[in-house]
A and B are shown apart, each in its own frame.
Chain A
Amino acid sequence: KQEVTQIPAALSVPEGENLVLNCSFTDSAIYNLQWFRQDPGKGLTSLLLIQSSQREQTSGRLNASLDKSSGRSTLYIAASQPGDSATYLCAAEETSGSRLTFGEGTQLTVNP
């Protein structure tokens, strides 16, 4: 059974810092790895999707990497802003089905 873990559970940084969020998964048989953002009381916003054949994806200040062999993905946020404050979730889509298995998220606070 796939298990996804995110470290740290919470992170507080001053504005302008670059930061890295970590995601690990136990079963490397995945189609893709997807990163989401969730604001309090809201649904999930898709940030980046990395296909299993890819090593990284970039969107603006965000860069996500994937290392299937080690079961790890990272989300890099450059020049963080207070508006980046949210919970970030990673999810793995397994080759055995289309379900996403989520981690518990990292709650990020960027202080002005």
Chain B
Amino acid sequence: GAGVSQTPSNKVTEKGKYVELRCDPISGHTALYWYRQSLGQGPEFLIYFQGTGAADDSGLPNDRFFAVRPEGSVSTLKIQRTERGDSAVYLCASSLSAGVYNEQFFGPGTRLTVL
């Protein structure tokens, strides 16, 4: 499997619960991105990492959302006290490096449904 992988593929949870979404980037890619896609819309940027550090988290909608990448590879997006409005497909992408001319490769996404 050379591509970006995401688990779980589907997650159904109840309002108020905590969820974690995982992303495994392409091996060797130092930059990792999270996007969120609502039905009928294009993806919206949430956060990106260069290595272990969050280089830009300005897209996170509020402090219920948090993401980590402790070893510079796998990343976890964490959502506390989920709300129905958090329901969307969460997409992860990776690229060789951030910056000029980097092509981003996307995973299949995690569909989150908050009941």
Contacts and interface: CB of A to CB of B under 8 A. Distances in A.
Interface residues of B, number: 30
Contact of A32 (B4, B101, B107): B101
Nearest to A99: B45
B92 to A, nearest CB: 9
Interface string A3-42: 0100000000000000000000000000110101000001
Contacts, number: 68
A1 B107 CA distance: 26
Contacts of B4: 43
B101 A31 contact: yes
A61 to B, nearest CB: 20
Given A98-B99, A102-B44, A43 B108 contact: yes
| Residue from B43, B99, B100 with most neighbouring chain A CB atoms (10 Å) | B43
Nearest to A4: B42
Nearest to B108: A43
Contacts of B55: 97-98
Interface in B84-99: 91, 93, 95, 98-99
B59 interface: yes
A51 B108 CA distance: 25
Interface of B: 4, 31, 33, 35, 40-45, 48, 50, 55-56, 59, 91, 93, 95, 98-109
Given A32-B101, A34-B104, A44-B43, 5 more contacts: A98-B31, A98-B33, A98-B102, A99-B48, A99-B59
